[in-house]
């Protein structure tokens, strides 16, 4: 049964990845293209300024992959791999959670558990890390701090997931003692406090490119467009909402199909799902 649930997670992740990529291709990638164009134009302005003051430029080595390949094949593969990983994670997490809830609370609706798990996963995997370090389009960020920024993002992501697992375990442990609603509030509050402390201890970054200026302070090229940053972040959030919603809904639908299937086994786990 566990293999079927994990397989359901992978299938749900695949479907979610395809749908979210279609959205990203038509809405997110054009914003990325604007950022790439800005980066190229800024480089030309900086090179021109360097020539003016007697400097020299090193030039670019050229793109290894064309923009067409990046926004189609590259983005598509990356999106699908991430969605499949999230689907596998979802399937494993549901299996572990249901092995407890299904046996301890037989009347629990498996689809409701999947819905709650989807919301929890969205917050832990994407919501909190995004709040700490909002996504930025290309050309935003200092190359010298990329290692530090990557390390900080991975740290808050891992901490968020681990702390969410602890919070859920705490809520489940408290549930028979103080009730489901109060235990959920306590677990949620503990999670918010813990991630808040974690974020406060991590470094912050504000590296949106400023205008290119001459030594006299004259602007020769504008700073990075704020509307491009805003659009990129809005579409990134929307893309993740689509991915997690489709993943959760598809997984719940598969659970329903499994429960209705005449070929379902009669193990306690399946009996609990059928209830």
Q: Where are the beta strands (DSSP E) in 114-171?
A: none
Name residue, tokens 């290692």: 147
Residue 173 lies in a domain: no
The pLDDT value recorded for residue 232 is 95
The pLDDT value recorded for residue 262 is 47
Residue 249 lies in a domain: yes
pLDDT value at 275 more than 50 = no
Residue 161 lies in a domain: no
Per the model's pLDDT, the better-predicted residue between 63 and 151 turns out to be 151
End-to-end CA distance of the chain: 16
Query: Residue 19 contacts by C-beta under 8 Å, 6 or more apart in sequence?
Result: 242, 243, 246
The pLDDT value recorded for residue 68 is 61
pLDDT value at 176 more than 60 = yes
Residue 246 lies in a domain: yes
pLDDT value at 128 more than 70 = yes
- For 220-249, letters b (16+ CB in 10 Å) and e give ebeebeeebbebbbebbeebbebbbbbbbb
Query: pLDDT tens, 198-228?
Result: 999 999 888 788 888 877 778 878 888 999 9
Residue 199 lies in a domain: no
pLDDT value at 17 more than 80 = yes
The pLDDT value recorded for residue 44 is 83
Handedness of CA 128, 129, 132, 133 (dihedral sign): negative
Is-contact 114 44, C-beta < 8 A? no
Domains in the chain: how many in total? 1
Share of the chain above pLDDT 90, in %: 55
Range of the domain at 129: 2-140+208-274
The pLDDT value recorded for residue 82 is 95
Average pLDDT, the chain: 86
The pLDDT value recorded for residue 187 is 96
Query: pLDDT tens, 237-265?
Result: 999 999 999 999 999 999 988 888 745 55
Residue 172 lies in a domain: no
Q: What is the pTM of this model?
A: 0.85
Alpha-carbon span 47 to 264, nearest angstrom: 67
The pLDDT value recorded for residue 244 is 97
Residue 214 lies in a domain: yes
Query: pLDDT tens, 58-97?
Result: 445 555 556 566 666 767 888 999 999 999 999 999 999 9
Residue 50 lies in a domain: yes
pLDDT value at 102 more than 50 = yes
Query: pLDDT tens, 31-61?
Result: 998 988 888 888 888 788 777 765 554 445 5
pLDDT value at 155 more than 50 = yes
């Amino acid at each position: 049964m566990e293999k079927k649930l994990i397989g359901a997670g992978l299938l749900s992740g695949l479907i979610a990845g395809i749908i979210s990529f279609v959205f990203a291709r038509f809405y997110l990638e054009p914003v990325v293209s604007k950022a790439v164009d800005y980066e190229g134009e800024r480089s030309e302005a900086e090179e021109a300024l360097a020539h003016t003051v007697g400097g020299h430029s090193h030039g670019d080595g050229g793109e290894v992959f064309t923009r067409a390949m990046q926004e189609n094949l590259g983005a598509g593969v990356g999106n699908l791999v991430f969605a499949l990983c999230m689907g596998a994670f979802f399937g494993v997490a549901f299996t572990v959670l249901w092995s407890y809830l299904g046996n301890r609370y037989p009347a629990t609706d498996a689809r409701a558990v999947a819905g709650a798990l989807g919301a929890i996963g969205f917050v832990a995997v994407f919501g909190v890390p995004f709040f700490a370090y909002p996504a930025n389009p290309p050309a935003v960020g200092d190359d010298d701090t990329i290692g530090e920024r990557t390390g900080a993002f991975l740290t808050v992501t891992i901490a968020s997931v681990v702390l969410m697992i602890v919070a859920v375990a705490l809520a489940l442990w408290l549930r028979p003692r103080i009730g489901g609603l109060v235990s959920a509030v306590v677990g949620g509050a503990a999670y918010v406090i813990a991630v808040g402390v974690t974020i406060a201890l991590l470094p912050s970054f504000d590296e949106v490119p400023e205008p290119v200026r001459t030594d006299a302070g004259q602007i020769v090229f504008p700073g990075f467009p704020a509307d491009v940053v805003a659009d990129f972040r809005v579409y990134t959030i929307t893309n993740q909402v689509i991915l997690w919603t489709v993943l959760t809904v598809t997984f719940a639908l598969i659970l329903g199909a499994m429960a209705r299937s005449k070929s379902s086994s009669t193990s306690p786990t399946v009996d609990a799902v059928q209830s």
